[in-house]
Structure 1
Amino acid sequence: MTSPRHQVEISRTVEALDEEPDEPSIVQAVELVLNSLERPNSELSLRLVSEKEIVELNNTYRSKEGATNVLSFPADIQIEQVDILGDVVICPSVVAKEANDFGKTYADRFRHMLVHGVLHLLGYDHMEDQERERMETLEIRLLSQLGIENPYE
């Protein structure tokens, strides 16, 4: 789906789960992040994958075992005045389990992981305490604009 300023390519290798945000809601969340951080003319891809695939990606690219909720693969290249930000990969089944564990709705947890993944594409991280606080504060602000309560409470 395309907007005047951003392009979000969505692909999936798994069926959509109940309560999964629709494409316009996904694009809205991505555009909120990009507009808030003044990243015009940006493009990224979102891939929704199985647990098996996220395990393989996590092992191959992060040398970590097991499934994870979201991975980000920054590209940070420019082609014809368009910033190609990279790829966000989300595992819906892991996100659904976490939503249940954390007492959140699946749709809210999904959009949280989407915002989180896009922030990683833009260079945000949470390896150090100060970085984590900065990223979480930004996530809370952005998610509130989507009508989502603080995910860390």
Structure 2
Amino acid sequence: MQWIQSAMSTTRALALRGVARTIAEGPEVAVVADSVVGDRRRLTLRFTAPSVTLAYRVNGAAYLRAIAIDGIALDSARYRRVPDALSIPFTAPPDSGFTAVIEAPADSAVVLRLAAVTAGLPLMRELRVPARPAGIVAVQGGDVTVRFRWVEVGRLMQKDE
């Protein structure tokens, strides 16, 4: 479990204990539409998750731009800087999920990194987390469970003309 401490970049003492992996609903993505015109691939994706916050990040392709979230156009002209990867968190997504339209190079595979954050810790048979003492409060995100999933949307074989 040394990797956890190094991943958190801390020299503070941590109390760690290994537990069995929990099975829980994670973030999902479905391809609604996938087309290529010229050198651009346009993907319409539907994201769902039982979460407080759902974030996605496009890896593995030099994305061109995000077009819209739930039908609302995104204006990248107002960005302070051009991001090196597309990363959009969506707080309190509806139960039905949300759609995102992105563009990427036509010949690329798009790899999505999904993260769903829910309040509280999962129930674990072999571990009981004691109640927080009075006067001690959670900081930053508090007690949360984060579920990650990597999804690859492969290369499209058929081009629209």
Q: Same fold (TM over 0.5)?
A: no
TM category, shorter: under 0.3
Structure having the higher helix fraction is 1
- TM-score norm. by structure 2 comes to 0.27
Structure having the higher strand fraction is 2
- TM-score norm. by structure 1 comes to 0.28
> Taking CA–CA contacts closer than 8 Å with sequence separation of 6 or more, which of the two structures ends up with the larger relative contact order?
2
